Amino acid sequence: MSKTVVIKTDLGPVLGREIRSEVTDSKFLSFQGIPYAKPPVGPLRFKPPQPAEPWTAVRDCRQEADVCMQYHMYLRDLRGSEDCLYLNVYTPQLDIWGVPRLPVMVRIHGGGFTTGSGSSEMCGPDFIVKERVVLVTINYRLNMFGFLCLGEPGDAQGNMGLKDQVAAFRWVQRNISNFGGDPKMVTIAGESAGGASVHLHMMSPMSRGLFSSAISESGVATNPWAFTKDGRARAFRLGESLGCKTDNAKELIEFLRSVPAEDLVKASNRAFSKEDKEYSCVISPFPFVPTIEISNGSVEPFLSEDPKKILSEGRFFKGPFLAGVNNREGMLLLAAILGKDRDEMIKKFDARISCLVPGDLSVPRGSGEEKKIVAMLRSFYMKNKPLSEENLVDYFNLTSDLMFVYGFYCAMKSHCKHSAPYLYEFCYEGALNVFKNILGEDHIPGACHADELGYLFKMDLLPSDLPSDSHALAVRDKMVKLWTNFVKFGDPTPKNVKYLGISWQPAKRNKLTYLEIGPELKNKTGSISEERMRFWDKIYKEETKLKNKL
């Protein structure tokens, strides 16, 4: 039977346990299912997080709480609960041991703001805590529970899930010292929707002072799936699809509070408009995501301005920042092919290339201008060939750029004007690439979206019995060192650390650089996918000229 330990928090004592990691053969302490806010159920559905009720008896925190209501990211079964605002703390030491406090990583999970969790299934702490970093993983409300936006004062102003994250950060500030962590050395980190969340926290006044450095993997606020200005319309379409046709926000919110949580999740895609379903769902497939809130209501807004405006004006966190993308992010779309007629799905992808014209270009659908851009896409990416197995890589370069890389490129140009972020491109292919292994597509070169996660965390989906001389394990060791060095020092390759054999050069306004994480670590000069980024710069520049003429 494992050793147990009780720690005081500001809400009450919690019982954790000691764990010996099977993969690192080292010990750490685990505290799971700690509440950081009141269950957002009943009348609290669609409200900002409320303070959790304190307790006096020791609370058993030796197992994880429910995930937030969702369809599972991979198994696609409906699971979870609305009572989900819990976090997990994993630490190699406690404050009671009388040693210096350790730096902290607070991890925000991905999943398109619709699925995912902070569970050890996808975010096992073993490798991070071995490097003497305290790891905190969190759940936050998803889908309409976390991001319903009515666009007026009162409840459901939007961004409840991001406000949940802020509540978790505040819990960390109040309590992490009792778990051996240093509240002055907190790095917020996340991938995909978690990375976009981190990026938004860097802009939100609500998050100011709650962290000292930030990591965004494969997700920024300027990605098309990460932000919407159509939140109000989607909320009313959801209500109408469930039988409440109204233009009254109070009436709508009362109705939606009466609908069982499972029925809301099942109906979520009905919130899309006909145009959304026809054009935008490839690169913006999630109906309820972060949005702009009104700033004159009774609820404190998380964000009341467009992230692009905030970035352009340099009004964001300028401390240590590490961010990057994977080199074949768009391979994620292969998930749509699994279990279906592959040739037929590829033909559908080819027929829908016109749907990939970005909505923010404001090009009329079906217009001559749209057809011109589609022709440019086919020429530049596809070499004017129809989509087939032979040129899937070209298609995935296109979807990678639209969904992830160009938004990242635009955001980092703003960051580099005001700070010196550490930028990377992950392109390694090995036994621990998460999504690529799930998809079983080893013949397509490149690292898929989320593939880097297997090189940072222990994951149930990945093999745990790799031979000791596996190159994937060597890459994992390097990745873990880079990330935990950044958490500790604000620099992934500090001068006093020589074992990585490289000094990661931060990007600057007059010298763009990034680290290529492949079989070897290499400093590269210029922008990631530079030629493709120039192509999109040209398209947006020409579109701006056209708008100015009109």
Catalytic residue ranges: 192, 329
Query: At a CB cut-off of 8 Å and minimum separation 6, what does 124 contact?
Result: 457, 458, 459, 460
CA-to-CA separations, 109 to 28, 121, 138, 140, 545, in angstroms, rounded: 21, 12, 8, 9, 39
Nearest to 512 by CA among 422, 396, 382: 422
Nearest to 148 by CA among 170, 165, 138, 163: 163
CA-to-CA separations, 167 to 170, 411, 424, in angstroms, rounded: 5, 26, 30
Other CB atoms closer than 10 Å to residue 3's CB: what's the count? 11
- Roughly what angle, to the nearest 10 degrees, separates helices 160-175 and 193-201? 70
Q: Rounded distance, CA 325 to CA 142, Å?
A: 23
Which tokens sit at 365?
A: 């659908």
- Is 316 exposed, middle or buried (CB count within 10 Å of its CB: 0-12, 13-18, 19+)? buried
DSSP state of 317: -
E strand or H helix at 262:
helix 261-266
Number of H helices, E strands in the chain: 17, 15
Side-chain half-sphere CA neighbours of 333 within 13 A: 27
Nearest to 16 by CA among 27, 33, 34, 29: 29
Give the angle 158-76-345 at the CA atoms, nearest 5°: 100
